[in-house]
Amino acid sequence: MTFLITAGPTREAIDPVRYISNRSSGKMGYAIAEAALDAGHDVILISGPVNLAPPRNSKFISVSTSDEMFDAVHQHADSADICVLCAAVADYKPAQVSPTKIKKRADGISLELTPTRDILQSLGQRQSRKFLLVGFAAETDHLEANAREKLHKKNCDIIVGNDARAAMETDENELLILFRDGEMKRISRAPKNILAYELVKIFLNSQQKCLTKKM
Ligand code: CTP
């Protein structure tokens, strides 16, 4: 099987020296990549800027902006059996990128932001896709309701929900996994690398079920 995995944050440029980003460490996505490789699968890892070494034996694609991540994902999605979109993609980018450094002024400045493209949703909208589509939902409140809404809105097969505050920049996580058929699983707090092994098994199992249904 081939896994396509996105991980880490994106950076949206304001000017040549500044950007908008978030606190994602990339650890969950990299742990899933390692677990899939350990289980003998191929991995295409599309990563935003993080402080982690690329897993050995993965096809590693380094990106910075949401637009670069969007293009890399669409270029490689059809060679994957399972797409796991774990990245914390910025929801907005500056409407204009200043070509020169914005100078400090005595009064304040406002930044006009424009929405980025939703990569997960764009894969969910693909007609007759053959890969299993897995998204993540990082929430600070109403985890189950918000994750379920994302599952339907983005037309995924699985959404892995987690507490945004508890998950960012830490080595541990706890997960709520929602499936398209309404099934739900909880995995209690554990190191991200242990969770990753569980997730890979769950994704493979779901992929097999999808294949059996289609045959
Ligand atoms: N995602 C994406 N492209 C975006 C934004 C999000 O592919 N431009 C994906 C993430 O990789 C994740 C899922 O969508 O798999 C949910 O991301 P999340 O940040 O939890 O939700 P948003 O859709 O951004 O909604 P909100 O920030 O309002 O919770």
Distance (angstroms) between ligand 1 centre and the Cα of 47 equals 15
Ligand 1 cavity residues, CB under 6 Å: 66, 85, 87, 89, 91, 116, 118-120, 135-138, 150
**Contact present, 9 and 88 (Cβ < 8 Å):** yes
Distance CA 133, CA 69 (A): 16
Look up the pTM and report it.
0.95
Mutate to test the pocket of ligand 1, among 20, 67, 85 (most ligand atoms within 8 A of CB): 85
- 3-state secondary structure (DSSP) of residue 97: coil
pLDDT of residue 136: 97
146 is catalytic: no
Residue 94: exposure state from Cβ atoms within 10 A (0-12, 13-18, ≥19): middle
Spacing, Cα 215 to ligand 1 middle (Å): 32
Mean pLDDT by 10 residues, the chain (215 residues): 98 98 95 98 98 97 98 97 98 98 93 98 94 96 96 97 82 94 95 96 93 66
Encoded amino acid at 124, one letter: G
User: 163 alpha carbon to ligand 1 midpoint, in Å?
Assistant: 14
